[in-house]
């Protein structure tokens, strides 16, 4: 029995492909159970975020399981197999990949903090669905230890290390100063919260939160000293806000070009910055063709991330050495012999070079 990872991320697939492969949060338990019936996969965890869709698992024949899983995902999401190129990791390479993901080394914004919580949530969801066993438990628990080790002993988090903070940097480039800027947040999840808090810390005021669950909108608005608006009414605020940030889990666009265009005529030339940090995307791409409306999606935020990336890149080798030292001392728990598992094989060489996608 060994472990594997199959996936795509911001480096291997554009947002147009990632959004087709994204798992809706409410369907995750059923999807996990479906994957358990594919190619003799015995354990699995799905990590589906803005920047990546990855399936981790354990199986006796990992190469065969990866083939079956790839075919399953192509059919499940009804995508053209020629437009998707999954990266495939087996055994120690799969473990190394997850360790780097949990440490923020594989993120669009190097060292970002959101991914650690996303990995923990993905694992918890798989546990609740009964999709994990000894291999995945050991693998993900070790990834949490390594993620904490790297962040505590390196400078990988220095600078703008989250998608939210990069979005704020973009807003400052457009407006110069956020003092007095009015911001609408569509979606009350973790990404929206951290982005809004960064906006407030840099002078934004008049925060408006709109969410399908009005109670959650109220909760976040109170945290930010802002106001809540029912989801059906959010369009009425377009006349007055300077920045709109959308990050919902909707499976299709919720902000349409026609609606934005109609309200832009009432703004008398005042610019509107729209930042779409959702996958699938929340805002129709046609919005970018509307005068005085400036739309940026999750992939375009990479341009701003690059500015501070060089300093953090110096930390990559240091962080990888931390991971290597940990593995040299502890080994890879998920690949060690587990009593009662007759499919175990001799320990693998954990010093083998890492291959990144």
Residues marked active site are found at 50
Residue 69 backbone phi and psi in degrees, to 5: -65, -40
Q: Which residues of 72-109 are buried (b: 16+ CB within 10 A; e: fewer)?
A: bbbeeeeeeeeebebbbbbbbbbbbbbbbbbbbbbbbb
Which residue carries 């940097």 as its tokens? 169
Total H helices, total E strands in the chain: 11, 10
The span from the CA of 43 to the CA of 130, in Å, is 9
Task: Map residue 318 onto helix, strand or coil.
Answer: helix
What are the tokens at 131? 């999709």
Q: E strand or H helix at 33, and its extent?
A: helix 28-35
Tokens of 96: 């190394």
What b/e string do you get for 178-201 counting C-beta neighbours within 10 Å, with b at 16 or more?
Answer: beebbbbbbbbbebbbbbbbbbbe
């Amino acid at each position: 029995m060994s472990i594997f990872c199959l996936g795509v991320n911001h480096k291997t697939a554009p947002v147009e492909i990632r959004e087709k492969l994204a798992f809706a949060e409410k369907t995750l338990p059923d999807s996990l159970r479906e994957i358990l019936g594919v190619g003799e996969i015995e354990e699995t965890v799905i990590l589906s975020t803005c920047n990546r869709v990855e399936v981790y698992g354990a199986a006796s024949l990992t190469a065969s399981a990866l083939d079956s899983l790839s075919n399953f995902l192509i059919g499940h999401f009804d995508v053209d197999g020629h437009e998707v190129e999954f990266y495939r990791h087996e055994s120690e390479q799969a473990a190394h990949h997850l360790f780097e993901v949990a440490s923020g080394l594989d993120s669009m914004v190097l060292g970002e903090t959101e991914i650690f919580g996303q990995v923990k949530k993905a694992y918890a969801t798989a546990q609740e669905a009964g999709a994990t066993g000894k291999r995945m438990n050991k693998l993900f628990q070790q990834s949490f230890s390594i993620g904490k080790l790297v962040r505590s002993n390196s400078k990988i988090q220095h600078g703008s290390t989250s998608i939210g903070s990069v979005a704020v940097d973009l807003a400052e480039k457009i407006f110069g100063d956020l003092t007095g800027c009015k911001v609408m947040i569509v979606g009350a999840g973790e990404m929206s919260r951290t982005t809004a808090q960064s906006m407030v810390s840099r002078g934004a005021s008049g925060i408006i939160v709109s969410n399908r669950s009005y109670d959650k909108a109220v909760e976040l608005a109170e945290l930010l000293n802002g106001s809540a608006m029912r989801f059906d009414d959010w369009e009425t605020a377009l006349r007055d806000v300077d920045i709109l940030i959308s990050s919902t889990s909707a499976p299709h666009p919720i902000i349409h070009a026609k609606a934005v265009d109609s309200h832009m005529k009432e703004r008398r030339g005042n610019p509107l910055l729209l930042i779409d940090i959702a996958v699938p995307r929340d805002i129709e791409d046609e919005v970018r063709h509307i005068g005085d409306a400036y739309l940026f999606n999750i992939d375009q935020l990479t341009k701003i991330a690059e500015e501070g990336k060089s300093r953090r890149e110096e930390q990559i080798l240091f962080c990888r050495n931390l991971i290597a030292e940990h593995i040299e001392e502890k080994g890879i728990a998920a690949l060690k012999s587990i009593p009662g598992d007759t499919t175990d094989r001799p320990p693998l060489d954990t010093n083998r070079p890492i291959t990144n996608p």
